[in-house]
């Protein structure tokens, strides 16, 4: 009986050398090739979407530059300058101002009318010449007196705020050995110094302001008196306590009264209003004047807010506020100085007048030009087209146009190097190529229906660089001349509402990039199609992945079943082998 090789049979049945797991992975990887192909297609689509987004940004930038060419006032903007270096005149040329050179000769500036009220409206320092009871702390001078020392003829006089005015006079006499005497006159409301020889006041080391507060100054003689009356009004106290020389009597039982300036009523109450509050009320009213209190001359002052030869309309019942402060038309010592009108000529013509120093087209006849003069002089004012702003806008358009064309060239280029062809992201995209071609046509074309000297960019010295798609200013002199001398023609070319260059370009750019903030343009539509294609690919990939997972599961299950069968077969072989060994050993 031939012996059976059980070891060989067991080895072939168990398949111990076969790596089925790797085999399954290899099969699945080979079957995954369509997914890789689809993913590559998605990647290419995503690159195209990114390239289109970049192009859309460039198109939108060009559209912004195009709209700027249609901006109101761009081609009617004006510059204005004076021939006088460092001129302080304020010059303004509005959009559309008449260009030209204008010589203004201002021979008289406009001034405002002014009414100086009567002086010395305040009560004197004291009711009598006897000032022994009037302490320095309570002396109602405009400037409060300070304690310290002052000098008379080289002698120091030291005073305290508790001293009376008479005490000060006595100290002056004592300090000068009786050579200088001082006194007060309540009728003139002045302090006087008297000496047989020249009086010299003040020293470098004085610490009291007595001499200044008393308005006393050297005059080279032995007789010195206060420059003005010394009593001052208390502007913050109520009118009844304001120390006015003349009482306000034209009021009702509650102390209320009223006066008018230029027909505007100003109400007051002597028991609650102060001089300061009345001044503020006047200034904030529509009377058109500015009121103030002149402390040096102890008087009220009115100044018209507007310049020119106009007066004041003042009215109130006798005995009222205006009388008390010396402003009424009947006040003795009050005076009105009439304002002046500005006098000037333009280009040597007849003399013109203006109530204001702001000379507008209403008085000059020069449209859009305003000259605010503040000196009497002759200056030549030149109004010209603002070519700088125009050139900036045109150059910005050229730059943005060139960026668009450069981007399209870069994204669609095809190069051959040593027989190797290299394409770009959007190579072969006829729509994108057509965008570039249409832009060139529109930029190069002429605008119909214009009667001026400019109907195409070439008329402005702007053209393509050779055979390229790039624009540039080929003739800057031609551009400068057109902007400076034919701005209306340039404006018509760019800004005609329907057929103008800016309108034509804007309409086309909108069709490509869509209106700002929307996605209705051709670029966005193309991007949307690519994005939809990627979504479809996602669906296909998901379906293939499900099929692969099913196939993998089936293969694994089959090999696992085979492995189980092999293990069972091996077990049977092991049993048979053992039986043969027992049989052979018994023979």
Extract long-range pairs of 155-162: CB within 8 Å, 24+ residues apart. 156/203, 157/210, 159/208, 159/210, 160/136, 161/135, 161/136, 161/137, 162/135, 162/136, 162/137
Query: Does residue 321 carry a pLDDT above 70?
Result: yes
Q: Residue 269: enclosing H or E segment and its boundaries?
A: strand 264-269
Q: What is the mean pLDDT of residues 396-416?
A: 92
Four-residue CA torsion sign, 211, 215, 219, 221: negative
The answer for 2, left when phi > 0, alpha when psi is -120 to 50, beta otherwise, is: beta
- Looking at residue 2, its pLDDT comes to 43
Q: What is the mean pLDDT of residues 170-199?
A: 97
Q: Residue 463: enclosing H or E segment and its boundaries?
A: strand 462-464
Other beta carbons less than 10 A from residue 216's beta carbon:
23
Question: What is the DSSP annotation of 146-199?
Answer: --EEEEETTEEEEE-TTSBHHHHHHHHHHHTTTS-EEEEETTTTEEEEE-SS--
- Looking at residue 587, its pLDDT comes to 60
- Looking at residue 518, its pLDDT comes to 59
For residue 198 the two structure tokens come to 């020249």
What confidence category does residue 4 fall into, taking pLDDT thresholds of 50, 70 and 90? Answer: very low
Query: Does residue 255 carry a pLDDT above 80?
Result: yes
Query: Does residue 227 carry a pLDDT above 60?
Result: yes
Beta bridge partners of 294: 299
Query: Does residue 448 carry a pLDDT above 70?
Result: yes
Name the DSSP letter for residue 451. Answer: -
CA 547 to chain centre: 65
- Looking at residue 13, its pLDDT comes to 45
Q: What is the mean pLDDT of residues 243-254?
A: 93
Side-chain half-sphere exposure of 120, counting CA atoms within 13 A: 13
For residues 407 and 54, is the Cβ–Cβ distance under 8 A? yes
- Bigger pLDDT: 313 vs 574: 313
For 141-145, 285-289, 338-342, 419-423, which range has the lowest pLDDT when averaged over its residues? 419-423
- Looking at residue 9, its pLDDT comes to 44
Residues in the chain, total: 587
- Looking at residue 182, its pLDDT comes to 97
Query: Does residue 383 carry a pLDDT above 70?
Result: yes
pLDDT digits (tens, 9 = 90+) for 84-127: 999 999 999 999 999 999 999 999 999 999 999 999 999 999 99
DSSP SS3 for 114: strand
Find where tokens 């091996």 sit: 570
Q: What are phi and psi of 112, to 5 degrees?
A: -95, 145
- What proportion of the chain, given as a percentage, has pLDDT over 90? 68
Which residues have CB under 8 Å from 580's CB, separation 6+? 3, 4, 6
Query: Does residue 478 carry a pLDDT above 80?
Result: yes
- Looking at residue 7, its pLDDT comes to 47
DSSP SS3 for 582: helix
Alpha-carbon distance of 463 to 474, in angstroms, equals 6
pLDDT digits (tens, 9 = 90+) for 127-147: 999 999 999 999 999 999 999
Query: Does residue 1 carry a pLDDT above 50?
Result: no
∠ CA 520-522-526, rounded to 5°: 105
Other beta carbons less than 10 A from residue 62's beta carbon:
25
Which residues have CB under 8 Å from 268's CB, separation 6+? 239, 256, 257, 258, 259, 278, 281, 321
Of these ranges, 20-24, 26-30, 55-59, 520-524, the one predicted with the greatest mean pLDDT is: 55-59
- Bigger pLDDT: 468 vs 305: 305
Alpha-carbon distance of 133 to 126, in angstroms, equals 9
């Amino acid at each position: 009986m031939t012996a059976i090789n059980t070891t060989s049979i067991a080895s072939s049945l168990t398949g111990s050398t076969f790596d089925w797991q790797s085999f399954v992975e290899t099969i699945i990887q080979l079957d995954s090739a369509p997914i890789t192909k689809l993913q590559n297609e998605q990647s290419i689509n995503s690159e195209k979407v990114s390239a289109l987004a970049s192009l859309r940004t460039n198109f939108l930038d060009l559209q912004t530059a195009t709209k700027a060419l249609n901006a109101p006032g761009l081609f009617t903007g004006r510059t204005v300058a004076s021939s006088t270096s460092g001129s302080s005149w304020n010059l303004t040329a509005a959009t559309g101002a008449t260009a030209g050179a204008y010589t203004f000769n201002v021979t008289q500036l406009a001034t405002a009318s002014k009414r100086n009220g009567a002086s010395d409206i305040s009560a004197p320092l004291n009711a009598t010449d006897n000032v022994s009871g009037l302490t320095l702390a309570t002396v109602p001078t405009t400037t409060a007196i300070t304690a310290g020392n002052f000098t008379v003829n080289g002698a120091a006089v030291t005073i305290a705020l508790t001293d009376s005015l008479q005490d000060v006079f006595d100290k002056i006499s004592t300090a000068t050995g009786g050579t200088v005497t001082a006194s007060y006159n309540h009728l003139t409301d002045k302090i006087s110094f008297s000496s047989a020889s020249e009086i010299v006041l003040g020293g470098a080391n004085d610490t009291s302001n007595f001499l200044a507060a008393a308005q006393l100054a050297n005059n080279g003689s032995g007789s010195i008196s206060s420059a003005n009356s010394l009593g001052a009004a208390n502007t913050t106290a109520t009118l009844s306590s304001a120390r006015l020389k003349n009482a306000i009597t034209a009021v009702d039982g509650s102390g209320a009264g009223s006066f008018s300036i230029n027909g505007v009523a100003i109400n007051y109450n002597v028991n609650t209003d102060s001089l300061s509050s009345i001044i503020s009320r006047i200034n904030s009213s529509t009377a058109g004047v500015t009121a103030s209190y002149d402390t040096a001359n102890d008087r009220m002052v009115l100044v018209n807010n507007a310049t020119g030869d106009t007066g004041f309309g003042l009215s109130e019942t006798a005995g009222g506020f205006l009388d008390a402060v010396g402003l009424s038309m009947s006040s003795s010592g009050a005076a009105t100085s009439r304002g002046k009108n500005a006098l000037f000529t333009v280009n040597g013509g007849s003399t013109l007048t203006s109530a204001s120093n702001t000379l507008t087209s209403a008085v000059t006849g020069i449209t859009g030009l305003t000259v605010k003069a503040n000196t009497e002089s002759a200056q030549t004012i030149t109004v010209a087209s603002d070519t700088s702003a125009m050139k900036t806008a045109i150059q910005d358009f050229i730059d943005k146009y060139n960026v668009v064309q450069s981007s399209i060239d870069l994204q669609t280029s095809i190069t051959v190097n040593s027989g190797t062809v290299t394409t770009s992201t959007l190579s072969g995209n006829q729509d994108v190529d057509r965008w570039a071609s249409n832009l060139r046509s529109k930029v190069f074309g002429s605008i119909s229906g214009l009667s001026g000297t400019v109907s195409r960019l070439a008329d402005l010295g702007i053209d393509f660089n050779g055979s390229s798609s790039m624009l540039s200013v080929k003739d800057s002199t031609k551009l400068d001349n057109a902007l400076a001398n034919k701005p209306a023609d340039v404006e018509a070319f760019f800004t005609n509402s329907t057929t103008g260059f800016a309108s034509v370009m804007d309409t086309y750019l909108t069709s490509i990039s869509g209106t700002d903030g929307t996605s209705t343009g051709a670029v966005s539509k193309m991007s949307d199609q690519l994005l939809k294609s990627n979504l479809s690919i996602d669906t296909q990939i998901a379906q293939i992945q499900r099929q692969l997972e099913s196939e993998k599961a089936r293969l694994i299950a089959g090999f696992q079943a085979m492995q189980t069968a092999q293990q069972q077969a091996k077990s049977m072989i092991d049993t048979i082998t053992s039986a043969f060994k027992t049989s052979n050993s018994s023979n």
